[in-house]
């Protein structure tokens, strides 16, 4: 099955710094989502981005489906950005189920 | 829009007991998914419902696990004879169709002692 790999696994930033999180996937995908998992465990939707670029405030994401990767950019980081970021892909040809395959996550810590 | 709701948020149970979790999806969503997340890992797919039909089950879903969605609305996940290895966060997600984004509930954190 498809493999989803995220890098780096851990990231420590000073408040105000910018960062780029990467998600590589081993096969074609029909959709890709980025999530932020809050300290209570809930997955918060950041982007639904099968291809192209989207921006939402200080966050933006780019997916290059033909090259099998997606990037999440965080600019001017704040302490509230801390947490675990997951990308999840819906494999192409996975039938009609729409299930997601998750990466292992990037744990981000933003220091004041 | 109340989002995806899960109950309970936390459950502590003794090994060997049965537990049942509930998920209420977003009302207009006909697709419902259960995932399991262990410490330090990403969520892993367990099972999928389209309306009331359970259409896919992961090999992670042992015989002790059963899921239902009797009227195509809420779903339940039951674990029989719990084991310590069942300790995890159980997440429910829903979506409107295959090509739209999935939304997750707050999860049920299970601890088996």
Residue spans of chain A under pLDDT 70: 94-96
Integer Cα distance of A11 and A82 in angstroms? 10
Q: How many helices (H) and strands (E) does chain B have?
A: 0, 11
Considering only the beta carbons, identify the residue of A98, A99, A105 that sits closest to B42.
Answer: A105
A-B C-beta contacts closer than 8 Å? 67
Contact state of A104 with B41 under an 8 Å Cβ cutoff:
yes
- Max alpha carbon distance in chain B (Å)? 40
Integer Cα distance of B47 and B30 in angstroms? 14
pLDDT tens digits, B16-74: 999 999 999 999 899 999 999 999 999 999 999 999 999 999 998 899 999 999 988 99
| Cα B59–Cα A28–Cα A48 angle in degrees, nearest 5 | 90
Q: How far apart are the first and last CA of chain B?
A: 36
pLDDT tens digits, A45-66: 999 999 999 999 999 999 999 9
DSSP of B76-105, one letter per residue? EEEESS--GGG-EEEEEEEESSTTS--EE-
């Amino acid at each position: 099955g498809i493999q989803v790999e995220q890098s780096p696994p851990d990231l420590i930033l000073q408040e105000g710094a910018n960062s780029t999180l990467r998600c590589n996937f081993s096969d074609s995908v029909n959709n890709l989502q980025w999530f932020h998992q809050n300290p209570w465990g809930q997955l918060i939707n950041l982007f639904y981005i099968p291809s192209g670029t989207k921006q939402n405030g200080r966050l933006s994401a780019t997916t290059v489906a033909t090259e099998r990767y997606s990037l999440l950019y965080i600019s001017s980081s704040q302490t509230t950005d801390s947490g675990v970021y997951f990308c999840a892909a819906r494999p192409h040809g996975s039938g009609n189920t729409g299930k997601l395959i998750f990466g292992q996550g990037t744990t981000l810590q933003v220091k004041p | 829009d109340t989002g995806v709701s899960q109950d309970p948020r936390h459950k502590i149970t003794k090994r060997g007991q049965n537990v049942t979790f509930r998920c209420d999806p977003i009302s207009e969503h006909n697709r419902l998914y259960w995932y399991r997340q262990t410490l330090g890992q990403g969520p892993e797919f367990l099972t999928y419902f389209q309306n009331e039909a359970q259409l896919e089950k992961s090999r992670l879903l042992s015989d002790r696990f059963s899921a239902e969605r009797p009227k195509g609305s809420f779903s339940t996940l039951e674990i029989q004879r719990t084991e310590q290895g069942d300790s995890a966060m159980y997440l429910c997600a829903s979506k409107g169709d295959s090509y739209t984004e999935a939304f997750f509930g707050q999860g049920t954190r299970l601890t088996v002692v």
